[in-house]
Amino acid sequence: MSDCLSTSSATPAGTVAARPSWQEPVAAALALAVVMGFGRFAFTGMYPLMVQEGVMSVSTGSLSASANYAGYLAGALLAAKVPARATSDWTRAALVGTVLCMLVLALPVPPALFVALRFAAGVTSAVGLVCASVWLLNVAGRHDGAPLFFAGVGTGIAVSAELIAVGNMAQPGSSALWMILTAGALALAVLAWWPIRIPSAQTGGAAAHHVSPRHALGAWPLVASYGLAGLGYIITATYLPLLIHGALHDVNPLHIWAMFGLAAVPSCFLWHAVHERLGTRRAMQWNLVVQALGVALPAIDHSAAAYLGSAILVGGTFVGTVTIAVPAARHAARSVRFNLVAAMTAAYGVGQIVGPLMASALMSHGGSFNGAMEIASAALLFAAAICQIRVQA
């Protein structure tokens, strides 16, 4: 995004901008909470309830999940063409689109329309993510706000999960819960709206992190490991509440799913610090190995502790992968002629599309998600092995 423009406002010498210094990162994080935490991942919390009500079958849910990830891929490619100066407008458009998609899900819609809506929600999620990141990091120049920004994903997951859990105490049904989620997403979108609309009065941020070749990842190993990470985490991120609901009837799966989101919030700061200390190769390896263990836990043991451990380990690493990989792409992009971030996003998107389809096929044959979780865990370990490839000095 070399055409990114500074929107810094001229202020008289000796004056200080009136807006709080963390207004931009907080607003961008709230936008990410809406488009990702609500628009993309609230469906995971609603999945078992909708299946239980007979509103949706497991196969329709898997198809909807893959459609959402296909929409995410399409949205990312679309957002890559948005000029930096227009990213605030596109971020706000993604907020509106996300809220509208959730509102329509509260209506009794046929399966085909439900799948189409999940595709549209995937588009708005990706557009919101990419445009909000460009607005924050390039237009506002707030590179120091990156960990807080990515923490918005986990915040949105945790808040949406608890809204579902609290709303479900009255057993209003999935349609009413979608209305509650829409109201929650709208409230956060309103909080994010005006700070994103106002051009930044500050430019410049933390200095870029320089990675030595010994600790860096090359472009193709980065694309390959990132794509496998998309396949690896998505089984847990799609099916964890459904797995808990089927195995542990006395445990509310939404509270464990909320832990998934809560674990993601501090993980952005943790993995950013690990990346700064150890470099890209080792940070990605540690991240992916821990994530592989978390994905495999429910296949090894069906206890409440195993599911909780899976939620914490996968929730505490999957956004961390992004926190490591996106800054690393800036270093590796110098060695290639294509848009490396776009290629990484495409690979990640393909992994997310393949995962639910694979899980659905294995489920229909074996009656269990164990095989899918084992394959996903193996994909993450393979990704960690790819990270061993060193960059030529």
Model confidence over 173-212: pLDDT tens digits? 889 999 999 999 999 999 999 999 765 444 444 444 554 5
Model confidence band, residue 391 (pLDDT cutoffs 50, 70, 90): low
- The pLDDT assigned to 250 comes to 74
* Per-range mean pLDDT, top range of 107-111, 192-196, 343-347, 358-362: 192-196
43/177 same-domain check: yes
Domain end call among 207, 229, 257: 207
Domain end call among 183, 207, 231: 207
350/280 same-domain check: yes
- Decide if pLDDT at 214 tops 70: no
- Domain membership flag for residue 10: no
Number of structural domains, the chain?
2
302/272 same-domain check: yes
- The pLDDT assigned to 393 comes to 43
Domain end call among 207, 231, 246: 207
Cα distance between residue 344 and residue 366, in whole Å: 32
At 337, give phi and psi (nearest 5°): -105, -5
- Domain membership flag for residue 7: no
29/62 same-domain check: yes
- The pLDDT assigned to 51 comes to 86
99/83 same-domain check: yes
- Domain membership flag for residue 8: no
Sign, CA torsion 318/313/47/300: positive
258/320 same-domain check: yes
- Decide if pLDDT at 349 tops 90: no
- Domain membership flag for residue 213: yes
Mean of pLDDT values over 2-10: 35
Closest-CA residue to 256 (of 270, 241, 245, 239)? 241
101/88 same-domain check: yes
121/234 same-domain check: no
Closest-CA residue to 336 (of 226, 216, 218)? 218
Domain with 171 in it:
21-207
**Total number of residues shown for the chain:** 393
CATH number, domain with residue 231: 1.20.1250.20
230/141 same-domain check: no
pLDDT digits (tens, 9 = 90+) for 354-364: 888 888 888 77
DSSP per residue, 183-252: HHHHHHHHHHHHHHHSPPS----SPPPP--GGG---HHHHHHHHHHHHHHHHHHHHHHHHHHHHH-TTS-
- Domain membership flag for residue 13: no
- The pLDDT assigned to 125 comes to 94
- The pLDDT assigned to 57 comes to 85
Give the residue with greater pLDDT, 44 vs 214.
44
- Domain membership flag for residue 4: no
Angle subtended by helix axes 280-300 and 370-386, to nearest 10: 170
- Decide if pLDDT at 321 tops 60: yes
Residues 6+ apart with CB under 8 A from 17: 9, 11, 201, 202
Cα distance between residue 390 and residue 218, in whole Å: 7
